[in-house]
Amino acid sequence: MMDTAEMLKIFNRYRGNAIVVPGRGGRHWVRISDQPNRDLPLGDPAMGGHASFAMGLALAQPGQRIVLFDSDGDVQMGMGILATIAEQQPRNFYHFMLDNECYATTGGQPVPQATTIAYDAIARACGYPRAYAYDNLETFAINVERILSGPGPVFTALKVRPEVENEPIGSRTKWRTRTQVQAVLDLKKELGIAG
């Protein structure tokens, strides 16, 4: 398993000017990214929707590369979107998934089939032309440039160490520096989109 923050630092070397939806990796990404106006650190608007949101963004902005850091719990909750993404074939969509084998924000309970499910095989079976799975930082570091240099949609599952939270939600450290609405407005401004 790899450390999420270290993985994101390696990814950042190859980011280019991609728009990044960091999902549950957002708490680390906001400290790593040097292009905040091209980031959408939304936290967790509603579980299971990150992939469909990022797909929608990719469809609306075909000239931009869209990178998503999804999670295993989110993918299991909204797994049907993998078929929709494969049908739409957004060539600018790079779908990474943080697989910590649990629901970390609720105390670390395992997701169904936590250790045996093959997300890359599911994505491939849905119709993603490329799908990978890595369980260590070294292999990810060797392959990330190749993943990002080819066309999407591409799915990459990454085994990451759980960062389990047990504190009451109200007591947890707030890592977002902007509201969700402000983050969207900042991106629109960056892209020259009215409103």
Partner 1 sequence: MSEIQRAGLSPETVLAEMKKNGVTHVVWLPDSETNWLYLLMKAEPSLTLVGVNREGLAFSAAAGISAGGKTPLILIQNTGLMESGDSLRGWALGLSIPVVLMVGYRGWTRHGVNTDTAATYTERFLNAFGVNYFLVEGDDDAPRISIAFDEAKKTKRPVAVLVADEYHGFNR
Q: Compute how many other C-beta atoms are within 10 angstroms of the C-beta atom of residue 146.
A: 12
Asked if 84 is part of the footprint of partner 1 (rule: CB under 8 A), the reply reads yes
Comparison of 142 and 193: residue with beta carbon closer to partner 1: 193
Asked if 186 is part of the footprint of partner 1 (rule: CB under 8 A), the reply reads no
Residue ranges with strand state E in 82-186: 93-99, 102-103, 109-110, 130-134, 154-159
Q: Are 89 and 153 in contact (CB under 8 A)?
A: yes
Q: Pick from 52, 130, 139, 190 the residue near partner 1 by CB under 8 A.
A: 52
Asked if 46 is part of the footprint of partner 1 (rule: CB under 8 A), the reply reads yes
Encoded one letter per residue, x for contact with partner 1 by CB under 8 A and - for no contact, window 133-152 reads --------------------
Of 126, 138, 137, 134, nearest in space to 156 by CA: 134
From CA 40, how far away is CA 186, in angstroms rounded? 9
Task: Report the interface residues with partner 1, using CB under 8 A.
Answer: 40, 42, 44-50, 52-61, 78, 80-81, 83-84, 87-88, 180-181, 184, 187-188, 191, 193-195
